[in-house]
Amino acid sequence: MLRILNLDAGYGKLRVLKGLSLHVSAGEAVAIVGANGAGKTTLLKSIAGVLRPWAGTISFDNQPIQGLPAERIVGLGCALVPEGRHVFPTMTVRENLLLGAYCRRGRDGGAEIAEDIKRCFDLFPILRERQHQLAGTFSGGQQQMLAIARALMSKPRLLMMDEPSLGVAPLVVRDIYRTVARLKDQGLTILLVEQNARAALTVADRGYVIETGQIVLEGSSRELCGNREVQRAYLGKEYQTIDE
Amino acid sequence: MTQTISRLYDAKAETMKRDELRQLQIERLQSTLNRVYRNVAFYHGAFDAHRVNLEKLKDLDMLTELPFTTRQDLAGAYPYDMFAVPLRDIVRIHSTSAASDRPIVVGYTHNDLRNWTDCMARLLVAAGVDQHDVVQIAIDYNITAGAFGFHQGAQRLGASVIPASLTMGVERQLVIMRDFKTTVLVTTPGYAISLAAGMDHIQLHPERLTLRLGLFGGERWSEELRQQVERSLHITSIDTYGLAEVMGPGVAGECHLRNGLHINEDHFIVEVIDPRTLKALPAGQEGELVFTTITKEGFPLIRYRTGDVAAINPEPCACGRTFVRMTRPSGRTDDRILFGGIGFYPSQIESILAASEGLSTHFQIILDRVGGADTIEIKVEISEKIPGLDEIKTLETLRTNMMSKIKTALGVDAKVTFVVPRSLRQNGAVQRVVDRRAT
């Protein structure tokens, strides 16, 4: 579904992604694991069209999308849940969700959109309870749920999530990941970027480990979890015994 | 038509579309290159020396810009210098057999073992093995990888595995085959011939066995030998290919159509080069096989020159697998000898001789097949300078000494014969290897 070949991207003179290649097949959940500053967010921003790639190709359903404006990419069915949520704090839950369906204006009727809002509420019941509250009054976890729901309102076929567990209470992280697993079971394709490798690899089928803008390891989640280097660096195992 | 579609162990991988496979290969190649550059001093140095910019390696055909890895490089890294992970992450160590030369030591991580087992399981399923089979593995279980690869794969499929190894004699092997109702035999072509001869000897008719399939590897063999094996054991034979440095057996294997060996391309990238010019050869042309591993963690190899000569057939196979096929290796680019599944070089014999007093380094290796069993004889010219040469006792001591040294170093039982000085030379040169095994 998503295929990236030799992607270069960065900011100003700073080259962050250095010839990175990866793919996500339909129905798959793929995790990108890496330390802070490795280029994970840059990667998602490049795919979503927020950042213009320097070189390389990004194709979505065999169609090149690199350089397209972000709204076109959302329209094609590729939505991003950005790091730090970025919900609209002075708007209500319902208004935030309606904005998520912005790209569907003139295409889908109000009934369909209302149906999708209902589906989001089923997914996150807390949002139904608080649908008329302002998003700015929410906790980190609730904002994250809202951000995911808002992305789902664009009816994506590929959902990209940037650090969904960041700044969220551990118990809520578990809830969010349960929902991610449910979305995957419903057939949604997911690309997940996480520093919380353990959580990401439990829902993902495959993963890539990214270091300083390059992929250094690729494999099934089982393989990555079984890799001692990944265990030491990202899963926090053996932290007492590391003496090298 | 449905009959020609064989069973697949991992249909998703084995029938992957070529463009998807290409994407996967690029991804895995790039991550492997990034890892070896960071973790293996040899590759860090080699890439820097060749001014390789890994960030610019964008497609598979750019692989040709990378330096080769040779057997000498690996021997020079003895024992652990080519490992890409710390030793505590290694869960298995195998080694090539040669001991007089420095052997090549190969380490496997947990994931490497799992991938290896998967590759073997694919190969066995392609051959037609399943959980109902009784698989007798007549390969020596030792530091070399061969027996373990087949063992793991057959076990994964749920077959009944008999680790018969090679320590027992031919007759005992045959009794097991008959009484345990072995259906699949895994061995070298040479040993299969010994088994067939043994059956004649104890008057065991193949009809009294339940054997139906044989998987062979570890030696080159001709079509004639293959037919002889099939005829004498009443089996269908399946050819396999692998080498310890790259992984062990399981790099490639025939499907039931037996028209070339499918290479597990999601784990290995294959190239065929002209061993003299080192240039890539077009598909279909015979040349030296070069492998790059793209999933190995413990012992990754970039453009490893195998020394094996074969050609690649990219045509799709009727079995449905999309992996390219290689021909059965037709020879070597060097003088490596394969005997009983063990590989060694004449130079190794030479260095043993050079270390022994009273012997010249003029010798001839004669490989033959006598009464169905493969034999190796080494004729050595004795030196004229040695005192007490005419004493039989001295000679006999020297001879047994030599035989045990060869056994220790190479692991083969060679017969050593002494000949008078200068008798081996024809036109001033000694023909080092005479191979009279059935061809």
pLDDT tens track for B97-117: 765 467 899 999 999 999 999
Give the pairing of strands B433-435 and A214-220.
unpaired
- For residue B337, what pLDDT is reported? 85
Mean pLDDT, range B377-406, rounded to an integer: 81
Is residue B3 predicted with pLDDT exceeding 60? no
Mean pLDDT, range A210-225, rounded to an integer: 93
pLDDT-derived band at A241 (thresholds 50, 70, 90) equals very low
- For residue B2, what pLDDT is reported? 40
Is residue B359 predicted with pLDDT exceeding 60? yes
Rounded to 5°, the CA angle A6-A7-A13 comes to 125
Lowest average pLDDT, out of A106-110, A195-199, B198-202, goes to A106-110
What does the block give as tokens for B271? 């190239």
The residue among B423 and B403 whose pLDDT is bigger is B403
Is B23's CB within 8 Å of A21's CB?
Answer: yes
Rounded to 5°, the CA angle A188-A189-A191 comes to 135
Q: How many residues does chain B have?
A: 439
Is residue B172 predicted with pLDDT exceeding 80? yes
> Is residue A216 within 8 angstroms of chain B, CB to CB?
yes
Chain B residues within 8 A of A218 when measuring between CB atoms: 27-28, 31
B299: left (phi over 0), alpha (psi -120 to 50) or beta: beta
- For residue A85, what pLDDT is reported? 82
Give the pairing of strands A14-24 and A158-162.
unpaired
Share of chain B above pLDDT 90, in %: 66
Question: Could you give phi then psi for residue B10, rounded to 5 degrees?
Answer: -135, 80
What value does the mean pLDDT of chain A take? 90
What does the block give as tokens for B387? 């005192």
Is B30's CB within 8 Å of A21's CB?
Answer: yes
Is residue B357 predicted with pLDDT exceeding 80? no
Compute the nearest-CA separation of A112 from chain B (Å): 36
Query: Would you report the helix, strand and coil content of chain A in percent, each value rounded to 5?
Result: 40, 25, 35
Q: Please state, in angstroms and as integers, the Cα–Cα distance from residue A145 to each residue in A172, A184, B67, B193, following that order.
A: 10, 16, 51, 69
> Is residue A23 within 8 angstroms of chain B, CB to CB?
yes
- For every residue of B191-215, DSSP letters joined together read HHHHHHHHHHHTT--GGGS---EEE
Compute the nearest-CA separation of B35 from chain A (Å): 5
Is A229's CB within 8 Å of B27's CB?
Answer: no
pLDDT-derived band at B425 (thresholds 50, 70, 90) equals confident
Chain A residues within 8 A of B85 when measuring between CB atoms: 228-229
**Interface pTM (ipTM) of the complex?**
0.84
Mean pLDDT, range A51-69, rounded to an integer: 93
In angstroms, the CA B277 to CA A239 distance is 51
> Is residue B110 within 8 angstroms of chain A, CB to CB?
yes
The residue among B353 and A183 whose pLDDT is bigger is A183
Query: SS3 string of A119-166?
Result: HHHHHCHHHHHCCCCEHHHCCHHHHHHHHHHHHHCCCCCEEEEECCCC
pLDDT tens track for B367-383: 988 877 788 999 988 87
Share of chain A above pLDDT 90, in %: 69
- For residue B7, what pLDDT is reported? 87
- For residue B439, what pLDDT is reported? 54
Q: How far is CA A210 from the centre of its chain?
A: 16
Mean pLDDT, range A117-122, rounded to an integer: 92
Is residue B350 predicted with pLDDT exceeding 90? no
Any idea what DSSP says for residue B347?
H
Q: How far is CA B398 from the centre of its chain?
A: 32
Q: Which of B349, B311, B350, B351 is nearest to B330 (CA)?
A: B311
For tokens 């050819």, the residue is B239
Is B23's CB within 8 Å of A219's CB?
Answer: no
pLDDT tens track for A169-179: 888 888 899 99
Could you say which of A3, A216, A223 has the minimum Cβ distance to residue B31? Answer: A216
Amino acid, res. A49: G
What does the block give as tokens for A173? 């992280």
Q: Cβ neighbours of residue B2 under 8 Å, at least 6 residues apart?
A: none
> Is residue B12 within 8 angstroms of chain A, CB to CB?
no
Q: Which of B193, B173, B185 is nearest to B134 (CA)?
A: B185
- For residue B36, what pLDDT is reported? 96
Quick check: B102 and B75 in contact, CB under 8 A?
yes
- For residue B40, what pLDDT is reported? 96
Is B27's CB within 8 Å of A3's CB?
Answer: no
Is residue B428 predicted with pLDDT exceeding 80? no
Is residue A243 predicted with pLDDT exceeding 60? no
Chain B residues within 8 A of A23 when measuring between CB atoms: 20, 23-24, 27
> Is residue A19 within 8 angstroms of chain B, CB to CB?
yes
- For residue A128, what pLDDT is reported? 92
In angstroms, the CA A148 to CA A145 distance is 5
Could you say which of B30, B88, B109 has the minimum Cβ distance to residue A19? Answer: B30
Chain B residues within 8 A of A20 when measuring between CB atoms: 30
pLDDT-derived band at B354 (thresholds 50, 70, 90) equals confident
Could you say which of A19, A226, A244 has the minimum Cβ distance to residue B58? Answer: A19
What does the block give as tokens for B253? 């294997």
Compute the nearest-CA separation of B247 from chain A (Å): 17
